[in-house]
C-alpha cells in the first residue's frame, strides 16, 4: 500500500471509530456493537480513499470529503451485511471473520445494516460545503446510487436473474448498479466536496464507470482463482451466478480488466497530478483481495 493510501485509510478508520465511539453508553449498545463489528472489520476502504483523492484532485483538502467518504463506506458495509444474510447469499465469512448474522443473529444484522444506511445520511449531511446546491446534489447522488436506481436495484435484478443465462448487456447493467454505483458515489461526492467544476465531476463519474467495471470483473475472477484465506470470505460461491467469468472466461476477463482500467485512466485527463490515482487503478487489476 502506498503512503497516501495508508494515510487516507488511517484517517477514515479513526473517523469511523469516533463516529460511534461515544454512543456505547446508550441503552441500544448491542446495536452499536453489531454495527462496529462489521464497520471496523478492516476492508480495503477503496471507496473512502477514492472520495478523498477526488476531493484533492479538484483542489480541495481531502479531509473535507471525510463525511461523504465515511458515509459511502457505511452504506457499503450495510450492503455486505445484508448480502451475507441467509435470505441473500447465506455466507459465513466476510473480511476474515464470521458474518454479522452468525455473531449477532439475523434480526440484529438486518437492523445494523438499516442503521448504517440511515446514519450514513446523517453523517453526510454534516459536510461543510459552501453552496447548499452542492450539498443537495451530493446527498441526492448518494441516495440515487444506493437505492432502487442503483445498488439495491442492481441486487434485485441480480436475484431475479439467477434462473436464466443473461446477455452481456444485462450483466453489465446489473453490475454497473450493484458495484459501480457506490464507486461512482465515492468519486463524484469527493469531487463535489473539493469544489470540482462540472467537467471535473463528469470526469470523476467516467473514471468511476471504468474502474467499477474493472473492479467487478476482477471480483468475479477472484471467486474462481482466489482462496478463502486471501479473500477473507468464501470463494467459488458464484458458480451458478451470471458472472463475467461465466460470460467471457478467465482469459478474456483479464483483458477486459485492463481495458476498463485504461478507460478509467483516460478519463483523468482533465486533472493534474494524477500519478497516485493512476497507480491505484492499476494496482487493482491484479489484486488478490
Provide the 10 A C-beta neighbour count for residue 161.
15
Site string for ligand GRG, 94-123 (x = CB under 6 A): -x----------------------------
* Shortest Cβ 78–ligand GRG spacing (Å): 8
Comparing CB distances to ligand GRG, the nearer of 106 and 266 is 106
Asked if 82 interacts with ligand GRG (CB under 6 A), we say: yes
Binding segment toward ligand GRG, per CB under 6 A, in 75-83, 161-169, 206-214, 251-259: 75-83
Residue bearing cell 448487456: 169
* Shortest Cβ 109–ligand GRG spacing (Å): 10
Give the CA angle between residues 51, 54, 60 to the nearest 5°. Answer: 105
Q: Single out the residue of 259, 33, 47 nearest to residue 146, CA to CA.
A: 47
- Chain residues 140-179 in contact with ligand GRG, contact rule CB under 6 A: 151-152, 155, 178-179
Query: Rounded distance, CA 236 to CA 245, Å?
Result: 12
Comparing CB distances to ligand GRG, the nearer of 152 and 235 is 152
Asked if 83 interacts with ligand GRG (CB under 6 A), we say: yes
Asked if 80 interacts with ligand GRG (CB under 6 A), we say: yes
Query: Rounded distance, CA 97 to CA 231, Å?
Result: 11
* Shortest Cβ 195–ligand GRG spacing (Å): 27
* Shortest Cβ 175–ligand GRG spacing (Å): 9
Amino acid at each position: 500500500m502506498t503512503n497516501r493510501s495508508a494515510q487516507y485509510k488511517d484517517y477514515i478508520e479513526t473517523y469511523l471509530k469516533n463516529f460511534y465511539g461515544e454512543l456505547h453508553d446508550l441503552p441500544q449498545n448491542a446495536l452499536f456493537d453489531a454495527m462496529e463489528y462489521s464497520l471496523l472489520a478492516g476492508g480495503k476502504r477503496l471507496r473512502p480513499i477514492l472520495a478523498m483523492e477526488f476531493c484533492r484532485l479538484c483542489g480541495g483538502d481531502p479531509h473535507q470529503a471525510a463525511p461523504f467518504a465515511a458515509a459511502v463506506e457505511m452504506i457499503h458495509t450495510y450492503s455486505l451485511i445484508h448480502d451475507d444474510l441467509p435470505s441473500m447469499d447465506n455466507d459465513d465469512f466476510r473480511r476474515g471473520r464470521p458474518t454479522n448474522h452468525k455473531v449477532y443473529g439475523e434480526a440484529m444484522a438486518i437492523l445494523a445494516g438499516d442503521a448504517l444506511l440511515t446514519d450514513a445520511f446523517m453523517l453526510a449531511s454534516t459536510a461543510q460545503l459552501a453552496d447548499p446546491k452542492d450539498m443537495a446534489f451530493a446527498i441526492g447522488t448518494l441516495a440515487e446510487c444506493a437505492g432502487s436506481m442503483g445498488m439495491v436495484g442492481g441486487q434485485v435484478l441480480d436475484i431475479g436473474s439467477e434462473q436464466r443465462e443473461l446477455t452481456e448487456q444485462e450483466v453489465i447493467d446489473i453490475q454497473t448498479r450493484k458495484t459501480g454505483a457506490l464507486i461512482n458515489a465515492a468519486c463524484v461526492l469527493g469531487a463535489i466536496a473539493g469544489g470540482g467544476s462540472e467537467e471535473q465531476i463528469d470526469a470523476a463519474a467516467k473514471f468511476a464507470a471504468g474502474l467499477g467495471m474493472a473492479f467487478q470483473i476482477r471480483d468475479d475472477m477472484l471467486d474462481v482463482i482466489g482462496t478463502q484465506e486471501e479473500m477473507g470470505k468464501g470463494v467459488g460461491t458464484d458458480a451458478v451466478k451470471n458472472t463475467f467469468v461465466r460470460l467471457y472466461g478467465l482469459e478474456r476477463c483479464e483483458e477486459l480488466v485492463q481495458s476498463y482500467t485504461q478507460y478509467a485512466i483516460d478519463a483523468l485527463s482533465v486533472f493534474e497530478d494524477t500519478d497516485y490515482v493512476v497507480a491505484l487503478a492499476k494496482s487493482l487489476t491484479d489484486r488478490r483481495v
